[in-house]
Structure 1
Protein backbone atom coordinates (compact mmCIF):
# COMPACT_ATOMS: atom_id res chain seq x y z
CA UNK A 1 0.00 0.00 0.00
CA UNK A 2 1.26 3.46 -0.81
CA UNK A 3 0.11 6.93 0.13
CA UNK A 4 -1.02 9.02 -2.83
CA UNK A 5 0.34 12.51 -3.39
CA UNK A 6 -2.07 15.38 -3.94
CA UNK A 7 -1.64 15.11 -7.72
CA UNK A 8 -2.16 11.34 -7.60
CA UNK A 9 -5.35 11.41 -5.53
CA UNK A 10 -6.73 14.31 -7.59
CA UNK A 11 -6.17 12.36 -10.84
CA UNK A 12 -7.59 9.17 -9.30
CA UNK A 13 -10.77 10.83 -8.00
CA UNK A 14 -11.26 12.71 -11.28
CA UNK A 15 -10.71 9.68 -13.52
CA UNK A 16 -13.58 8.70 -15.79
CA UNK A 17 -16.99 8.39 -14.21
CA UNK A 18 -16.08 7.17 -10.73
CA UNK A 19 -18.84 8.20 -8.40
CA UNK A 20 -18.32 9.46 -4.90
CA UNK A 21 -20.02 7.98 -1.87
CA UNK A 22 -21.10 10.95 0.25
CA UNK A 23 -21.55 10.51 3.99
CA UNK A 24 -23.62 12.93 6.04
CA UNK A 25 -25.34 12.71 9.41
CA UNK A 26 -29.11 12.50 9.76
CA UNK A 27 -30.95 14.55 12.37
CA UNK A 28 -31.16 11.47 14.63
CA UNK A 29 -27.38 10.96 14.43
CA UNK A 30 -27.51 8.02 12.03
CA UNK A 31 -25.07 7.96 9.14
CA UNK A 32 -26.39 8.44 5.61
CA UNK A 33 -24.35 7.43 2.55
CA UNK A 34 -25.36 8.10 -1.05
CA UNK A 35 -23.59 7.97 -4.40
CA UNK A 36 -23.03 11.32 -6.12
CA UNK A 37 -21.67 12.78 -9.32
CA UNK A 38 -19.01 15.39 -8.58
CA UNK A 39 -16.04 17.34 -9.87
CA UNK A 40 -12.98 18.62 -8.07
CA UNK A 41 -12.02 22.27 -8.23
CA UNK A 42 -9.12 24.43 -7.08
CA UNK A 43 -10.54 27.60 -5.54
CA UNK A 44 -8.47 30.47 -4.17
CA UNK A 45 -5.72 28.26 -2.76
CA UNK A 46 -7.86 25.39 -1.50
CA UNK A 47 -9.41 22.28 -3.00
CA UNK A 48 -13.12 21.60 -3.15
CA UNK A 49 -15.64 18.96 -4.16
CA UNK A 50 -18.55 20.36 -6.19
CA UNK A 51 -21.89 18.59 -6.66
CA UNK A 52 -25.65 19.15 -6.82
CA UNK A 53 -28.36 17.75 -4.59
CA UNK A 54 -32.01 18.36 -3.93
CA UNK A 55 -32.72 20.87 -1.19
CA UNK A 56 -35.25 18.48 0.35
CA UNK A 57 -33.15 15.32 -0.08
CA UNK A 58 -31.57 13.65 2.94
CA UNK A 59 -28.20 15.04 1.77
CA UNK A 60 -29.55 18.55 1.31
CA UNK A 61 -31.26 18.65 4.69
CA UNK A 62 -28.25 17.13 6.45
CA UNK A 63 -25.80 19.62 4.91
CA UNK A 64 -28.04 22.57 5.82
CA UNK A 65 -28.06 21.39 9.43
CA UNK A 66 -24.39 20.34 9.61
CA UNK A 67 -22.06 21.25 6.72
CA UNK A 68 -19.49 18.55 7.51
CA UNK A 69 -19.23 15.58 5.18
CA UNK A 70 -16.96 12.75 4.05
CA UNK A 71 -16.64 11.51 0.49
CA UNK A 72 -15.11 8.21 -0.58
CA UNK A 73 -13.99 7.44 -4.14
CA UNK A 74 -12.65 3.95 -4.74
CA UNK A 75 -11.51 1.44 -7.31
CA UNK A 76 -13.15 -1.88 -6.50
CA UNK A 77 -10.75 -3.96 -8.59
CA UNK A 78 -7.40 -5.36 -7.43
CA UNK A 79 -5.04 -4.05 -6.25
CA UNK A 80 -7.66 -1.58 -4.87
CA UNK A 81 -7.20 2.13 -4.26
CA UNK A 82 -9.28 4.79 -2.55
CA UNK A 83 -9.51 8.44 -1.60
CA UNK A 84 -11.49 9.72 1.37
CA UNK A 85 -11.92 13.46 1.76
CA UNK A 86 -13.46 15.29 4.66
CA UNK A 87 -14.86 18.73 4.12
CA UNK A 88 -17.24 21.49 4.97
CA UNK A 89 -20.01 22.44 2.56
CA UNK A 90 -21.25 25.81 1.43
CA UNK A 91 -24.70 25.68 -0.16
CA UNK A 92 -26.00 27.92 -2.93
CA UNK A 93 -29.31 28.29 -4.70
CA UNK A 94 -27.88 30.67 -7.33
CA UNK A 95 -29.22 29.18 -10.57
CA UNK A 96 -26.58 30.81 -12.81
CA UNK A 97 -23.73 29.42 -10.70
CA UNK A 98 -25.52 26.07 -10.46
CA UNK A 99 -25.87 25.86 -14.24
CA UNK A 100 -22.13 26.33 -14.77
CA UNK A 101 -21.27 23.54 -12.33
CA UNK A 102 -24.13 21.21 -13.19
CA UNK A 103 -23.02 21.36 -16.83
CA UNK A 104 -19.39 20.56 -15.92
CA UNK A 105 -20.54 17.64 -13.78
CA UNK A 106 -22.84 16.40 -16.54
CA UNK A 107 -20.00 16.57 -19.07
CA UNK A 108 -17.94 14.25 -16.87
CA UNK A 109 -20.66 11.65 -16.32
CA UNK A 110 -22.86 11.91 -19.43
CA UNK A 111 -20.41 13.25 -22.03
CA UNK A 112 -19.99 16.65 -23.66
CA UNK A 113 -22.85 15.96 -26.10
CA UNK A 114 -25.39 15.65 -23.25
CA UNK A 115 -23.84 18.14 -20.81
CA UNK A 116 -26.15 21.06 -21.61
CA UNK A 117 -29.32 18.97 -21.28
CA UNK A 118 -28.30 17.44 -17.94
CA UNK A 119 -26.86 20.73 -16.69
CA UNK A 120 -30.19 22.47 -17.29
CA UNK A 121 -32.08 19.59 -15.69
CA UNK A 122 -30.02 19.89 -12.49
CA UNK A 123 -29.80 23.69 -12.19
CA UNK A 124 -33.41 24.39 -11.25
CA UNK A 125 -35.27 25.75 -8.23
CA UNK A 126 -35.20 23.18 -5.44
CA UNK A 127 -31.67 22.03 -6.27
CA UNK A 128 -28.63 23.08 -4.29
CA UNK A 129 -25.11 23.65 -5.51
CA UNK A 130 -22.74 22.22 -2.92
CA UNK A 131 -19.16 23.48 -2.79
CA UNK A 132 -17.33 21.42 -0.22
CA UNK A 133 -14.02 22.81 0.96
CA UNK A 134 -11.70 19.85 1.52
CA UNK A 135 -10.15 19.86 5.00
CA UNK A 136 -8.50 16.42 5.11
CA UNK A 137 -7.54 13.71 2.60
CA UNK A 138 -6.65 10.06 3.15
CA UNK A 139 -5.56 8.39 -0.09
CA UNK A 140 -3.99 4.98 -0.64
CA UNK A 141 -3.09 3.17 -3.84
CA UNK A 142 -2.45 -0.52 -4.37
CA UNK A 143 -3.92 -1.54 -1.03
CA UNK A 144 -3.62 -5.28 -1.77
CA UNK A 145 0.01 -5.17 -2.92
Structure 2
Protein backbone atom coordinates (compact mmCIF):
# COMPACT_ATOMS: atom_id res chain seq x y z
CA UNK A 1 0.00 0.00 0.00
CA UNK A 2 1.05 3.59 -0.51
CA UNK A 3 0.68 4.67 3.11
CA UNK A 4 3.44 6.88 4.42
CA UNK A 5 4.14 7.18 8.13
CA UNK A 6 3.48 10.73 9.29
CA UNK A 7 6.33 12.66 10.90
CA UNK A 8 6.62 12.45 14.69
CA UNK A 9 4.01 14.67 16.35
CA UNK A 10 2.25 15.47 13.06
CA UNK A 11 -0.93 13.88 14.34
CA UNK A 12 -1.42 16.68 16.91
CA UNK A 13 -1.43 19.31 14.18
CA UNK A 14 -3.82 17.19 12.12
CA UNK A 15 -6.27 16.68 15.01
CA UNK A 16 -6.20 20.34 16.08
CA UNK A 17 -6.26 21.82 12.54
CA UNK A 18 -8.69 24.51 11.48
CA UNK A 19 -11.25 23.96 10.13
CA UNK A 20 -11.87 21.25 12.69
CA UNK A 21 -12.38 17.70 11.48
CA UNK A 22 -15.18 15.60 12.96
CA UNK A 23 -13.98 12.38 14.55
CA UNK A 24 -15.68 9.03 14.08
CA UNK A 25 -15.85 7.27 17.46
CA UNK A 26 -16.07 3.50 17.63
CA UNK A 27 -17.37 1.75 20.76
CA UNK A 28 -18.74 -1.70 21.56
CA UNK A 29 -22.40 -2.04 22.53
CA UNK A 30 -23.51 -4.25 25.40
CA UNK A 31 -24.43 -7.04 22.95
CA UNK A 32 -20.93 -6.89 21.40
CA UNK A 33 -21.97 -5.15 18.20
CA UNK A 34 -20.01 -2.11 17.02
CA UNK A 35 -21.32 1.45 17.14
CA UNK A 36 -19.77 4.43 15.34
CA UNK A 37 -20.84 8.02 15.89
CA UNK A 38 -19.47 11.44 15.03
CA UNK A 39 -17.73 13.43 17.77
CA UNK A 40 -16.21 16.87 18.02
CA UNK A 41 -12.79 16.61 19.62
CA UNK A 42 -10.01 18.73 21.03
CA UNK A 43 -6.60 18.10 22.53
CA UNK A 44 -5.45 18.60 26.08
CA UNK A 45 -1.74 18.05 25.59
CA UNK A 46 -1.63 14.60 23.99
CA UNK A 47 -5.03 13.57 25.35
CA UNK A 48 -8.06 13.49 23.05
CA UNK A 49 -11.07 15.09 24.72
CA UNK A 50 -14.75 15.14 23.75
CA UNK A 51 -18.10 15.42 25.49
CA UNK A 52 -21.16 13.23 25.38
CA UNK A 53 -24.31 12.51 27.35
CA UNK A 54 -23.88 9.64 29.78
CA UNK A 55 -27.18 8.11 28.62
CA UNK A 56 -26.27 8.12 24.92
CA UNK A 57 -25.21 4.88 23.25
CA UNK A 58 -21.58 6.00 23.30
CA UNK A 59 -21.85 7.24 26.89
CA UNK A 60 -23.25 3.94 28.12
CA UNK A 61 -20.70 1.94 26.13
CA UNK A 62 -17.78 3.98 27.50
CA UNK A 63 -19.04 3.69 31.08
CA UNK A 64 -19.33 -0.10 30.67
CA UNK A 65 -16.21 -0.78 28.61
CA UNK A 66 -13.72 2.06 28.23
CA UNK A 67 -12.10 0.76 25.05
CA UNK A 68 -12.59 3.27 22.22
CA UNK A 69 -11.17 4.25 18.88
CA UNK A 70 -11.47 7.56 17.03
CA UNK A 71 -10.57 8.21 13.41
CA UNK A 72 -10.13 11.62 11.80
CA UNK A 73 -9.35 11.89 8.11
CA UNK A 74 -8.61 14.27 5.28
CA UNK A 75 -10.90 13.28 2.44
CA UNK A 76 -8.92 15.22 -0.17
CA UNK A 77 -6.21 13.57 -2.26
CA UNK A 78 -3.58 12.43 -1.50
CA UNK A 79 -5.55 11.65 1.74
CA UNK A 80 -4.39 11.30 5.33
CA UNK A 81 -5.77 9.94 8.56
CA UNK A 82 -5.17 9.56 12.27
CA UNK A 83 -6.62 6.84 14.47
CA UNK A 84 -6.47 7.07 18.24
CA UNK A 85 -7.26 3.91 20.20
CA UNK A 86 -7.16 3.61 23.95
CA UNK A 87 -9.07 3.67 27.20
CA UNK A 88 -11.68 6.33 27.82
CA UNK A 89 -12.04 7.98 31.19
CA UNK A 90 -15.27 9.77 32.11
CA UNK A 91 -15.11 13.05 34.02
CA UNK A 92 -18.41 14.36 35.38
CA UNK A 93 -17.15 17.49 37.16
CA UNK A 94 -19.65 20.22 36.07
CA UNK A 95 -16.94 22.88 35.71
CA UNK A 96 -14.86 20.63 33.46
CA UNK A 97 -17.91 19.63 31.40
CA UNK A 98 -18.92 23.25 30.86
CA UNK A 99 -15.34 24.30 30.06
CA UNK A 100 -14.79 21.57 27.47
CA UNK A 101 -18.29 21.91 25.98
CA UNK A 102 -17.58 25.60 25.37
CA UNK A 103 -14.03 25.10 24.15
CA UNK A 104 -14.99 22.33 21.74
CA UNK A 105 -18.16 24.10 20.57
CA UNK A 106 -16.15 27.25 19.92
CA UNK A 107 -13.57 25.26 18.01
CA UNK A 108 -16.15 23.85 15.60
CA UNK A 109 -18.73 26.64 15.48
CA UNK A 110 -16.61 29.74 16.07
CA UNK A 111 -15.24 31.38 19.21
CA UNK A 112 -18.20 33.77 19.29
CA UNK A 113 -20.49 30.78 19.98
CA UNK A 114 -18.38 29.11 22.70
CA UNK A 115 -20.62 30.29 25.56
CA UNK A 116 -23.71 29.09 23.70
CA UNK A 117 -22.22 25.61 23.39
CA UNK A 118 -20.98 25.61 26.99
CA UNK A 119 -24.59 26.22 28.01
CA UNK A 120 -26.12 23.83 25.46
CA UNK A 121 -23.70 20.90 25.89
CA UNK A 122 -22.55 21.51 29.45
CA UNK A 123 -25.71 20.55 31.31
CA UNK A 124 -26.79 17.73 33.54
CA UNK A 125 -25.95 14.25 32.28
CA UNK A 126 -23.15 15.53 30.03
CA UNK A 127 -19.63 14.28 30.70
CA UNK A 128 -16.11 14.87 29.46
CA UNK A 129 -14.37 11.87 27.94
CA UNK A 130 -10.57 11.66 27.84
CA UNK A 131 -8.79 8.95 25.87
CA UNK A 132 -5.85 7.68 27.91
CA UNK A 133 -3.05 5.24 27.08
CA UNK A 134 -3.69 5.98 23.42
CA UNK A 135 -2.08 4.23 20.51
CA UNK A 136 -1.76 6.65 17.62
CA UNK A 137 -1.57 5.67 13.96
CA UNK A 138 -0.97 8.56 11.55
CA UNK A 139 -0.63 8.14 7.79
CA UNK A 140 -0.13 10.70 5.04
CA UNK A 141 -0.10 10.54 1.25
CA UNK A 142 -2.33 7.46 1.30
CA UNK A 143 -3.05 7.58 -2.46
CA UNK A 144 0.44 8.41 -3.72
Report TM bin, short chain: over 0.9
- Give the whole-Å Cα distance in 1 for the aligned partners of 2:7 and 2:71: 16
Instruction: Return the alpha-carbon distance in structure 1 between the equivalents of residues 12 and 111 of structure 2.
Output: 21
Give 2:24's match in structure 1, choosing from 21, 24, 27. 21
Offset from partner CA, 1:22-55 (integer Å, 9 cap, x none): 000000100100010010111xxxx211111111
Q: Find the residue that maps to 1:34 and give its secondary structure.
A: strand
Identify the residue that residue 5 of structure 2 maps to in structure 1. 3
TM-score (norm 1): 0.93
The 2-side partners of 1:135 and 1:125 are apart by 28
Displacement of 1:94 in angstroms is 1.1
Whole-Å Cα distance in 1 between the matches of residues 90 and 77 of structure 2? Answer: 36
- Measured against aligned partners, the alpha-carbon deviations of 1:48-87 in whole angstroms (never above 9, x if no partner) come to 1111111110000000000110000001111110000101
Cross-structure match for 1:106: 105
Within 5 Å, give how 1:1-145 maps onto structure 2.
1-15=3-17, 16-42=19-45, 47-145=46-144
Deviations 1:68-115 (A, max 9, x none): 100000011111100001011111221111111111101110111001
Aligned length: 141
TM-score by length of 2: 0.94
CA contact (8 A) 1:93 1:125 kept: no
2:119 aligned counterpart, secondary structure: helix
RMSD over aligned Cα, in angstroms?
Answer: 1.0
Could you tell me how far apart the structure 1 residues matched to 2:142 and 2:27 are?
Answer: 25
Unaligned runs of at least 5 residues, structure 1: none
